[in-house]
Structures are given as structure tokens and as C-alpha cells.
């Protein structure tokens, strides 16, 4: 029997019911050189780093495409368990999936620009170490090393973007150097040199490059990192009303001096300037929370990764299509009790979804361009917050309106 290709093993929709999980596999390590040095343990003790791995039961030995998930939390919080559900969803679609722990090195009470950059740099080193781990252990975990992807949310998306774009030694930030002005504690500097782009996480000699990433509410601090038209392709999803990581650009948390974050729209514009392959899904009026859109994200990312594995063509949707205007969705009454009306401009084509607060699609309705409005029954749904999502068939973009259902 001929060996199965990677394309034969994966699908846009679930094809497996049983998933095996390996918890707390150590993929690397990093120096715990933040907050306060430890003179008794070499100034910076080693911190182990762990990953949880998911794959279909009885997966066999054929190498599978791998997706590595990187959680959010402003480099101060979050946990690898935050992405368990998505790891499970993609494993059901035939992927090997992993969600990683990385060093959380920010104290939000004393946060400054230097600490933010250093924390992001440590996370980047750890994510790169995770990629090297799976390449070094490809036979053990049946990894298709030519098809490794990364998905990140918020700080995790910042990390994933830096994994893709920070490849050259001269792209290492100055803030990663020793800073004598921070002082020291019994000979241990408070701001030591924190190493190279690759870090010391383990498995040197293996590449940390990935094939592509999917960024949710992500940003970069330096657009000049995007300097090659053949950098790994990136797909992004971002809300225009995101007040944590701006859709375009802003100072992070109004810190002084300003650590400017360039969000997905700025990344898209830079990509168009240099001919880099990117896609941007704009969520009109949406904030930083991606939970209302999780079903959409899984659907879109599944199609994106499948296309990359099977066709090698990540830019079937052009940037011009992605930034096309989306008809405004109007919702009334709001709050609603028994029913709600969704109204769109004449000729609108696409699909309206009713989604609950955990991201589950409760109802889906197609508009073919002949009807301007759609009445959706709310009978049987408990009181609470919901979302009406309109996906335009022409542009592929989505607009969202919050909906309050009264008991």
C-alpha cells in the first residue's frame, strides 16, 4: 500500500472521534532571569517548558501536519490549557496539535517598554524552541516537518509573528542586551543579556522556521522586520474596535515611552508594499475578545492550512478582496425577546449566523441577494449575550453585532 500523503490525512471538517493526549511533555527550557535575580542558583535558574500534544487515536506512523498553539495573556498570564479545545478540534481534522507553555515574565504593576520587549523576546525564544523540538523528534511524534504551522492569540499572536519575521541576528532588539543601568543584586544583574533570537531552549541545529501562521488580534513592534517577499505567509483576524491590541497601531497600555504596536491592518499594508503573502479578515466593530468568533476561526484556519498542505497556494484570496467594504448589518429589536430582525443593504449575499457567548453557532441562514432582511426566532434560547455575524459572500469578510436576549 502506498504511503499516505499529508493531504490525505487532514480535512476541513472533523473526521476523527477519538483523540489521544500527552500532557506536560518537556520541549525545552529557559533562564528564569526576570523579576529578581537568584545569586544562590547562578543568578538565573533554568525553568522547564512543557507542551500538551493531541493526535487522532490509532494515528499510525504517517507524518502529520503539526499546528502549534501559543496562548495570550499579555506575557503575564494565560496557560497552555487555554487552547485545549482548539487542539482537540484540529486533531479531529487529522492534525497533530500542540499547545505550549512559555515564560511569563511581565509584572503588570511595574510594566515599562523595556520589560515588554524583553518579555516578548523570551516568548519568541520559547516558541522557536518548540518548533525545533518537534523537528528534532519528528520520528517519535510523526511530524511532517515540511508542514508545521503556528496559531496565536494576542500575546501569542505577537509571539507567532515574531517567530516568522525575526530571522536575522541584526533583528534582535537592543533591549535584549545587558542593561547596566538596572543595577544588580549580589553580582547578578537585574537586566542581563537574554541571548540570541533562537535562545537556549534546546535542540540547536534544527530550524525554527514554520510554514505559515494564523494570527488572532496580533501585532508587531517593528514593521521593518517584514523585509522579504518570501517570508512565511500569514493569515490574520482582528476587530476594528480592539482597545488592547489596536487593529491599526497604538501605544500599548499608554506606557511612556510609547511601546508602539502595529496591528493587523498595519501589517497588511506593509505586506502589500513588499509583496508579502498575507490575508486579513476584518471584524467590523469587534473588540479584543475572539471567543464569539471561535467557530469562524476554526473554519477559516482549517481551510487555510488545508490549502497550504494540499495546494501550496496560501493567497487564493487577494488582499484587495480582503479589504473590500462589508455591508453594514443592522439588528432590531435589541434587546430582543422572541425574535430578531437582521437587515442588510440591497443585493447583499452571504450567510447570517446566530452565535452564543462561547462561540457556538446556534443558527445559520443564507441570504441570496433577493431578500434584504431575515427574521430569526429566539424561542428557547436563555437570556444573555449573543452575537449576529454576517459573512459577505463576495469579500469573505464579516461584520458582527452584539445581541441581548431577554428572558
Which residue is associated with the grid cell 476541513? 12
CATH of the domain spanning 6-322: 3.40.50.1820
Residue 323 pLDDT more than 60? no
Please give the grid coordinates belonging to residue 402: 452584539
Distance CA 389, CA 387 (A): 6
DSSP state, residue 382: P
Q: Where are the domains of the chain?
A: 6-322, 330-405
pLDDT at residue 322 is higher than 70: no
φ, ψ for residue 140, nearest 5 deg:
-65, -40
Q: What is the mean pLDDT of residues 181-210?
A: 90
In the chain, pLDDT over 90 holds for what percent of residues?
A: 41
Question: What is the DSSP track for 149-209?
Answer: EEEEETHHHHHHHHHHH--SGGGS-GGGS--GGG-EETTEESS-----SSTTSS-TTS---
Whether residue 321 is predicted with pLDDT greater than 80 in this model: the reply is no
C-alpha cell at 300: 477559516
Question: Would you state the pLDDT for residue 232?
Answer: 85
110: CB partners within 8 A, 6+ apart: none
Top-level class of domain 330-405: mainly beta
Model confidence, pTM: 0.78
Q: Which of 107-111, 215-219, 363-367 has the lowest mean pLDDT?
A: 107-111
Look at residues 262, 236, 239 and name the one whose alpha carbon lies nearest to residue 314. 236
What pLDDT sits at residue 395? 59
pLDDT at 117 > cutoff 80: yes
Q: Round to whole Å and give the CA distance between 144 and 135.
A: 8
Cell (9 digits) for 190:
537585574
The percentage of residues in the chain with a pLDDT greater than 70, rounded to a whole number, is 89
Amino acid at each position: 500500500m502506498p504511503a499516505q500523503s499529508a493531504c490525505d490525512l487532514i480535512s476541513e471538517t472533523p473526521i476523527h472521534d477519538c483523540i489521544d493526549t500527552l500532557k506536560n511533555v518537556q520541549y525545552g527550557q529557559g533562564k528564569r532571569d526576570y523579576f529578581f535575580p537568584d545569586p544562590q542558583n547562578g543568578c538565573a535558574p533554568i525553568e522547564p517548558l512543557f507542551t500538551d500534544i493531541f493526535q487522532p487515536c490509532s494515528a499510525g506512523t504517517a507524518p502529520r501536519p503539526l499546528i502549534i498553539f501559543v496562548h495570550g495573556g499579555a506575557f503575564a498570564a494565560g496557560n497552555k490549557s487555554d487552547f485545549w479545545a482548539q487542539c482537540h478540534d484540529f486533531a479531529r481534522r487529522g492534525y497533530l496539535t500542540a499547545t505550549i507553555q512559555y515564560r511569563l515574565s511581565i509584572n503588570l504593576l511595574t510594566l515599562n517598554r523595556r520589560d515588554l520587549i524583553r518579555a516578548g523576546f523570551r516568548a519568541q525564544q520559547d516558541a522557536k524552541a518548540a518548533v525545533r523540538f518537534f523537528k528534532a523528534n519528528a520520528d517519535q511524534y510523526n511530524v511532517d516537518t515540511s508542514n508545521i504551522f503556528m496559531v496565536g492569540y494576542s500575546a501569542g499572536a505577537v509571539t507567532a509573528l515574531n517567530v516568522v519575521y525575526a530571522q536575522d541576528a541584526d533583528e534582535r532588539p537592543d533591549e535584549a542586551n545587558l542593561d547596566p543601568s538596572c543595577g544588580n543584586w549580589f553580582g547578578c544583574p537585574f537586566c542581563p543579556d537574554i541571548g540570541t533570537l533562537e535562545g537556549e531552549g534546546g535542540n540547536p541545529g534544527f530550524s525554527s522556521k514554520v510554514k505559515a501562521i494564523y494570527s488572532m488580534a496580533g501585532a508587531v513592534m517593528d514593521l521593518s522586520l517584514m523585509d522579504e517577499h518570501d517570508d512565511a505567509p500569514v493569515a490574520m483576524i482582528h476587530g476594528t474596535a480592539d482597545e488592547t491590541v489596536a487593529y491599526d497601531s497604538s501605544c500599548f497600555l499608554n506606557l511612556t515611552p510609547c511601546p508602539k504596536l502595529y496591528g493587523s491592518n498595519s501589517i497588511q499594508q506593509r505586506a502589500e508594499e513588499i509583496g508579502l503573502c498575507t490575508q486579513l479578515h476584518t471584524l467590523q466593530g469587534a473588540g479584543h475578545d475572539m471567543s464569539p468568533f471561535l467557530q469562524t476561526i476554526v473554519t477559516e484556519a482549517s481551510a487555510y492550512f488545508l490549502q497550504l498542505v494540499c495546494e501550496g497556494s496560501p493567497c487564493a484570496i487577494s488582499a484587495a478582496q480582503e479589504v473590500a467594504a462589508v455591508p453594514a448589518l443592522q439588528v432590531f429589536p435589541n434587546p430582543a425577546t422572541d425574535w430578531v430582525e437582521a437587515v442588510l443593504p440591497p443585493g447583499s449575499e452571504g450567510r447570517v449566523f446566530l452565535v452564543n457567548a462561547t462561540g457556538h453557532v446556534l443558527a445559520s441562514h443564507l441570504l441570496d441577494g433577493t431578500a434584504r432582511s431575515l427574521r430569526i426566532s429566539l424561542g428557547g434560547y436563555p437570556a444573555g449575550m449573543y452575537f449576529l455575524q454576517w459573512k459577505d459572500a463576495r469579500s469573505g469578510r464579516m461584520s458582527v453585532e452584539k445581541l441581548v436576549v431577554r428572558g
